[in-house]
Structure 1
């Protein structure tokens, strides 16, 4: 399915066949590409009720919710929502019902706890 940086039928759900690994309690991820301190892209899969700790964005982050819905202090974002978090944005992310989101970021976040 992944051939030289290409995933066919990604929006149609081909991401479901990718391997996910533990990230935070109740959240798994599949890294598409990236550097530890630089630009990267990943799929995050939240179980119902899962959260990612409060964090600050140190660079731009683009999010496309592919399935379910994601939430933060500013709202509820169902499948099909595209969001941009600018550098300096601070929030906590969760999913009441579970979700999968594509994240593409310029620089990693800083966990604030």
Structure 2
């Protein structure tokens, strides 16, 4: 039976992040998986970047939605502070880093390919 996934307090994530069971994702980046479809399908997770952390260059096989919930991140097209919604279409690629650290909600139509 399918169940509705509900996350509360995302805009207050800095004060509630300690309640989540974060897992290692990449060097300096932790994740909190929300859902993952099989066979590299859709997925959603919270990503927590430590100050100075960066994600490897990757290409989007489907749409990627990023909502910056705290801090800021920077990629090939600019600097993105808290409250920014980024939508990367299929076929685009970029590097991502966070100078001061950040927490983002990431939703993928299809999983990314690390280059």
TM-score by length of structure 1 reads 0.91
Q: How many residues are treated as equivalent by the alignment?
A: 110
Q: Does 1:87 align with 2:85?
A: no
| Alignment gaps of 5+ in structure 1 | none
CA RMSD of aligned residues (A): 1.6
Query: 2:48: which partner in 1?
Result: 45
5 Å-filtered alignment, 1:1-113, equals 4-13=4-13, 16=17, 17-36=19-38, 37-112=40-115
Measure how far apart 1:94 and its partner are. 0.5
1:3-35: per-residue Cα shift (whole Å, max 9, x none)? 951122222327512111101000000000012
Q: Does the CA contact (< 8 Å) of 2:10 and 2:69 recur in 1? A: no
TM-score, length-normalised on structure 2? Answer: 0.89
Q: Which structure features the higher share of helix residues?
A: 2
* Higher share in strand: 1
Structure 1 runs of 4+ aligned residues shifted over 3 Å read: none
